[in-house]
């Protein structure tokens, strides 16, 4: 019994002395989807959860380069100072970025624009998104992270047409209000159509715009 106790105590001391392998806050990376026609340039926005203290890093986007062409990346909103390297390759593009110090805020960190080469309409281009390694800006410890894959829908997008019947009517506005109230779910494609101001997110301002559009067209 005494022996077991001393082993437990030794183990406890060993763990107490070991530096933590992971930094504390996981980084949740979200990438928006988009809708466009063949030939259109569309933009997806990459955002991060709060208080990650993420330092310089990169995110990889894998897709069929015969369907999608990389156009450019732009630093956005919180914490990313500049895009250092966006390297298009045979399987997609890697976007590297510089942070002024660790990223603490939540919000968009950068955007990536693509041109739709594929002429298949309607269809869908999948983009698989991955993070090679995230490290803490101060301690260099690994930051655990999650990231979602995304997709581009190739379709005739009509801003505000949430039910995809080809026109914007009071039904679309009602659908938007029901969604805001949490009464119905909208799939990601409908949410992209609902993004009236093109900022990559759908909210009350967008739904109000749809409502105003319908109200105006009804005199």
Of 136 and 172, CB closest to Ca ion: 172
**DSSP class of 154:** E
Of 112 and 173, CB closest to Ca ion: 173
186 to 205: interface string for Ca ion, x by CB under 5 A: ---------x-x-x------
Of 32 and 49, CB closest to Ca ion: 32
Of 106 and 163, CB closest to Ca ion: 163
Of 69 and 188, CB closest to Ca ion: 188
Sheet containing strand 92-99, edge to edge, reads 34-36, 150-154, 123-130, 57-62, 92-99, 80-89
163 to 182: interface string for Ca ion, x by CB under 5 A: x-x------x----------
The answer to whether the beta carbons of residues 86 and 147 sit under 8 Å apart is no
Q: State the nearest-atom distance from the C-beta of 160 to Ca ion, in Å.
A: 8
**161 contributes a contact to Ca ion by CB under 5 A:** yes
Coarse DSSP helix, strand, coil percentages of the chain, rounded to the nearest 5 percent: 20, 35, 40
At residue 42, φ and ψ (nearest 5 deg) are -120, 160
Q: State the nearest-atom distance from the C-beta of 108 to Ca ion, in Å.
A: 12
Q: Is the dihedral of CA 101, 135, 31, 92 positive or negative?
A: positive
Half-sphere exposure of 53 (CA within 13 A, CB side): 13
Give ∠ CA 75-132-97 in degrees, rounded to 5: 20
* Residue range at the interface with Ca ion (CB under 5 A); choices 48-56, 64-72, 157-165, 184-192: 157-165
Contacts with Ca ion, residue ranges (CB under 5 A):
161, 163, 165, 172, 195, 197, 199, 206
């Amino acid at each position: 019994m005494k022996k077991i106790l001393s082993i437990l105590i030794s183990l406890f001391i060993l763990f107490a002395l070991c530096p933590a392998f992971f930094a504390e806050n996981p980084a949740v990376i979200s990438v928006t989807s988009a809708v466009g026609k063949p030939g259109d340039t569309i933009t997806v926005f990459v955002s991060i959860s709060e208080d990650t203290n993420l330092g310089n890093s990169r995110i990889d986007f894998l897709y069929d380069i015969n369907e999608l062409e990389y156009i450019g990346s732009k630093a956005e909103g919180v914490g990313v100072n500049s895009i250092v390297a966006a390297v298009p390759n045979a399987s997609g593009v890697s976007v590297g970025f510089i942070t002024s110090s660790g990223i603490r805020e939540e919000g968009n960190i950068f955007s990536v624009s693509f041109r739709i080469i594929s002429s298949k309409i309607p269809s869908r281009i999948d983009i698989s998104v991955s993070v090679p390694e995230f490290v803490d800006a101060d301690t260099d410890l690994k930051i655990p992270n999650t990231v979602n894959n995304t997709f581009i829908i190739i379709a005739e997008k009509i801003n505000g047409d949430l039910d995809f019947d080809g026109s914007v009517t009071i039904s679309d506005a009602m659908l938007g209000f029901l969604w805001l109230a949490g009464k119905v779910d909208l799939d990601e494609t409908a949410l992209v159509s609902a993004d009236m101001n093109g900022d990559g997110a759908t909210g009350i301002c967008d739904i109000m715009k749809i409502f105003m559009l319908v109200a105006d067209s009804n005199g």
